[in-house]
């Protein structure tokens, strides 16, 4: 465990150091945290062995502090936090970035700001963006007003299992892992941010793996498809069932082995990188059904 101060926030982080392994930084989604990602079984990188893994809570989330300025929660600002943390923990080292939703947005802005910092990106559940972001922004503004007036209880973090995307069903209910006094600013920051413009994405030339799922208006397939089209070296996998999501750690491990092999400039080695099946939730250890989703590989 450690902390790092930057721009009015103190970021809480931890490092799992397996000597000789490639460096990976894992992010999380909006109103989430390291702890909540684990409860939701979206801690994909945590289930990969043979890596040096840096995890942290974004400002205002989990164990990290923050301010009440919404601008500090926009994705370009969160990207500056990420790059500062990497300079502190992994100075001068290229890393593999892994993150869902808000974390994916943060990684894309960070890769544009410092192209030499990243060896690859794994973007889970890319969020609404561009045309689809407008309606989502209005939802965030309404939620911020409700929380400011009535507290966190006004934010319905849960959903009936039948309302969830098919691949997300059966996951435990979790509440937002954010400080109540910061939540309105966090939501307003999300309402006023977006992914980089599609025309800018061509400048991100590192390998990218996009992991999406079906039936989720907050993380639409259209964003994932546009990212695959605009990013020069991107592949896309779309999960259709909960078992498909269990595959994501295996896909990440396989890609890390491949990327480390073809890129000799990255420190560490790929020989020990593999899925850690013992770290799966108990209900997922008996066996995984064959993949039922769709593949759009980068070749």
Average pLDDT over residues 178-193: 96
Average pLDDT over residues 135-162: 82
Supply the pLDDT for residue 159. 47
Supply the pLDDT for residue 17. 87
Domains of the chain (ranges; CATH) run 2-296 (3.40.50.1820)
Tell me how far apart the alpha carbons of residues 231 and 235 are, in angstroms, rounded to a whole number: 9
Supply the pLDDT for residue 187. 97
Query: What would the DSSP string read from start to end of the chain?
Result: -EEEEETTEEEEEEEE--TTSPEEEE---TT--HHHHHHTT--GGGGEESSEEEEEPPTTBTT----S-GGGGSHHHHHHHHHHHHHHHSTT--EEEEEETHHHHHHHHHHHH-GGGEEEEEEES----GGGHHHHHHHHHHHHHHHHHH-GGGS-----GGGS-GGGTTPPP----B-TTTHHHHHHHHHT--PPPGGGGGG--S-EEEEEESS-TTS-HHHHHHHHHHSTTEEEEEE-SHHHHHHHHHHHHHHHHHHHHH-TTSSS-STT-EE-GGGS-GGGSS--PPP-SEEE---
* Greatest extent of the chain over all pairs of C-alpha atoms, in Å: 54
Tell me how far apart the alpha carbons of residues 299 and 291 are, in angstroms, rounded to a whole number: 19
Supply the pLDDT for residue 283. 43
Supply the pLDDT for residue 273. 61
Supply the pLDDT for residue 151. 86
Supply the pLDDT for residue 148. 93
Supply the pLDDT for residue 117. 98
Question: Which comes out higher in pLDDT, residue 41 or 132?
Answer: 132
Cβ atoms within 10 Å of 261's Cβ, excluding its own: 12
Mean pLDDT of the chain: 88
Supply the pLDDT for residue 284. 44
Supply the pLDDT for residue 279. 47
Its pTM stands at 0.90
- Six token digits for residue 57: 């809570």
Supply the pLDDT for residue 287. 44
Is the pLDDT at 268 greater than 60? The verdict is no
Is the pLDDT at 15 greater than 60? The verdict is yes
Average pLDDT over residues 225-233: 97
pLDDT tens per residue, range 149-176: 988 888 764 445 557 899 988 888 888 9
Average pLDDT over residues 20-30: 96
Supply the pLDDT for residue 296. 66
Which of 178, 8, 186, 12 lies closest to 88 in space, CA to CA? 12
Residues ≥6 apart with Cβ < 8 Å to 289: 241, 243
Average pLDDT over residues 134-159: 85
Average pLDDT over residues 89-106: 97
Question: Which comes out higher in pLDDT, residue 262 or 215?
Answer: 215
Supply φ then ψ for residue 138, to 5 degrees. -65, -40
Average pLDDT over residues 83-107: 98
Supply the pLDDT for residue 34. 97
């Amino acid at each position: 465990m450690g902390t790092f101060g930057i721009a009015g926030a103190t970021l809480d982080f931890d490092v799992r150091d397996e000597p000789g392994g490639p460096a990976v930084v894992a992010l999380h989604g909006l109103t989430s945290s390291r702890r909540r990602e684990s409860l939701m079984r979206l801690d994909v990188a945590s289930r990969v062995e043979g890596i040096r893994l840096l995890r942290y809570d974004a400002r205002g989330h989990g164990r990290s502090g923050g301010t009440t300025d919404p601008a500090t929660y926009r994705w370009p600002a969160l990207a500056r936090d990420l790059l500062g943390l990497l300079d502190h923990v992994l100075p001068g080292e290229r890393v593999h970035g892994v993150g869902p939703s808000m974390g994916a947005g943060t990684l894309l802005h960070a890769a544009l700001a410092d192209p030499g910092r990243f060896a690859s990106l794994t973007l889970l559940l890319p969020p609404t963006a561009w045309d689809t972001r407008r309606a989502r922004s209005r939802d965030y503004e309404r939620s911020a007003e409700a929380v400011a007036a009535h507290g966190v209880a006004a934010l319905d973090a849960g959903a009936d299992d039948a309302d969830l995307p098919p691949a997300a069903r059966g996951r435990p209910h979790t509440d937002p892992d954010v400080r109540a006094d910061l939540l309105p600013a966090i939501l307003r920051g999300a309402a006023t941010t977006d992914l980089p413009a599609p025309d800018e994405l061509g400048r991100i030339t590192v390998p990218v793996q996009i992991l999406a799922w079906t039936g989720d208006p907050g993380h639409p397939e259209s964003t994932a498809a546009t990212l695959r089209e605009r990013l020069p070296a991107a592949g896309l996998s779309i999960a259709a069932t909960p078992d498909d999501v269990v595959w994501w750690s295996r896909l990440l491990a396989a890609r890390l082995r491949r990327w480390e092999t073809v890129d000799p400039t990255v420190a560490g080695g790929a020989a020990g990188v593999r899925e850690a099946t013992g770290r799966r939730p108990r209900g997922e250890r008996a066996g995984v059904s064959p993949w039922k989703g769709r593949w759009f590989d980068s070749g």
